[in-house]
Structure 1
Amino acid sequence: MTAQQGLLDILLKTSVVPVISIDSISNAVPLARALAAGGLSVIEITLRTAASLDAIRAIASEVESVVVGAGTIIQPAQLEAATRAGARFAVSPGYSNRLLDAAEASEIPLLPGVASASEALNLIERGYRLAKFFPAESAGGVDFLSSLASPLPQLRFCPTGGITRQIAPRYLELTNVLCVGGSWMAPKNLVSARDWQSITVQSRAAAALLAARQSQIGMNSKITPLT
């Protein structure tokens, strides 16, 4: 199985990937369990805090029902550190040739970010078939991604950035969108209050979008193996 195919299999498990920044390691495991209890079993922990790598390590070792990835990867050293911590995939807001070169030798797959057709074309030339669209809402939103479907059918996306519970279904209707990334199901106030029950309730509503997506006409085009 190629790295890209492995990443596709991970992303097809969900409709929404929670994008989480963890400030306190004590919140990592209970937060992951609350998200999983609501049906969100694929999560991205951003490398924006001092606790992020320890959080990934704790979730990877203690919450078997969750596939944890590392976000905000911007240099090869972070990719290596995330791999050692137990991340199963990595996500970047953009990409550089240096980062893509490192990803080719990495044990885990990278979901690189794009914000333009030219960047998307560069990824296709490097053999990528999956990409993050970031920052989704400010970079053109649903209309922009829809316009890429015909000229660049090879590439499928996980849009992230400014996506809310209300907007997410519009993205999931697109044939070139696999899932969306967002943080609305675990806002900072609920995490700070350790209100895991409310996070589970909001996660359950987000997870329900998967069933709606799977029922769409043309869903088969999203689950065919990557070539």
Structure 2
Amino acid sequence: MNVAPFDRAARIGVVPVIAIPSADYAEPLADALLEGGLPIAEITFRTEAAAEAMARVSETRPDLLMGAGTVLSVDAVSSAVAAGATFGLAPGFDPEVVAAADAAGLPFAPGIMTPSDISLATARGCRLMKFFPAMAAGGPDMLKNISAPFLHLGLTFIPTGGVTQDNMHEWLSLPIIAAVGGTWIAKPADIEAGDWAGITARARHAVERVDEIRG
């Protein structure tokens, strides 16, 4: 499977997780992120506008590395691919979804929260996983402990759920973290308000923070 998009995501270090209210916001949102030096977004299938928003970004803003989030079904995999998504993530592990993503050539990170989840995902060939809900599930210490028996497999993780500007350093200081995902950069209310300057500022600050943490 082509993992280049996740390699790029790891280099960037932070992935905005976005529940977009309307596809009409797709281009200005992409522009705000790009202006902030953050050329990546995970548009989640939590809204009906997701597929169209992804398609618009894919067509008009190719410089933005765009992924699909909350990919919960085989149909969602097909929708993500058709919309031009370059990677996908899910909050949990579903072997049928993993298989569908693999068959479609869509780099995919299933969600895990327990050692059993990790065992199931690794058995399906997954080496990058989403840790969700990251803070509610125990935070960095929990992930460090449950992943320890599997580290010889070269696993890495993207934690989301409760990750913020204030605690992202706790995650990015761990070598097992590829990138962090968070909603604070572009919340639905900010998008609906057209607060593009605010989104750009938060994107820029997040990028600067990653650079500070990683040195």
TM-score, structure 1 length as denominator? 0.89
* CA gap 1:190/1:104 in 2 versus in 1, 3 angstroms: closer
1:116 aligns with 2:114: yes
Q: What is the RMSD of the two structures over their aligned residues, measured on CA atoms?
A: 1.4
1:26 is paired with a residue whose SS is helix
1:45 aligns with 2:43: yes
Seq. identity, %: 37
Work out whether residues 10 and 42 of structure 1, in 8 Å CA contact, stay in contact via their aligned partners in 2.
no
2:88 is paired with a residue whose SS is strand
User: Over residues 116-145 of structure 1, what are the superposed CA-to-partner deviations in whole Å (9 max), with x where a residue is unaligned?
Assistant: 111112211221110000110111111111
Aligned length: 213
Aligned residue runs from structure 1 range 19-38, under 5 A: 19-38=17-36
How far 1:84 moved relative to its partner?
Answer: 0.6
2:101 is paired with a residue whose SS is helix
1:138 is paired with a residue whose SS is coil
Work out whether residues 95 and 124 of structure 2, in 8 Å CA contact, stay in contact via their aligned partners in 1.
no
Which AA in structure 1 matches 2:155? L
Question: Unpaired segments of 5 or more residues in structure 1?
Answer: 216-227
1:44 is paired with a residue whose SS is strand
Which AA in structure 1 matches 2:65? V
How far 1:149 moved relative to its partner?
Answer: 4.7
Aligned residue runs from structure 1 range 189-208, under 5 A: 189-208=189-208
How far 1:104 moved relative to its partner?
Answer: 2.1
1:43 is paired with a residue whose SS is strand
Question: Unpaired segments of 5 or more residues in structure 2?
Answer: none
Work out whether residues 69 and 89 of structure 2, in 8 Å CA contact, stay in contact via their aligned partners in 1.
yes
The structure 2 residue matched to 1:63, chosen from 61, 64, 82, is 61
2:144 maps to: 146
Residues in 2 aligned to 1:181 and 1:8: alpha-carbon distance in whole angstroms: 13
1:74 maps to: 72
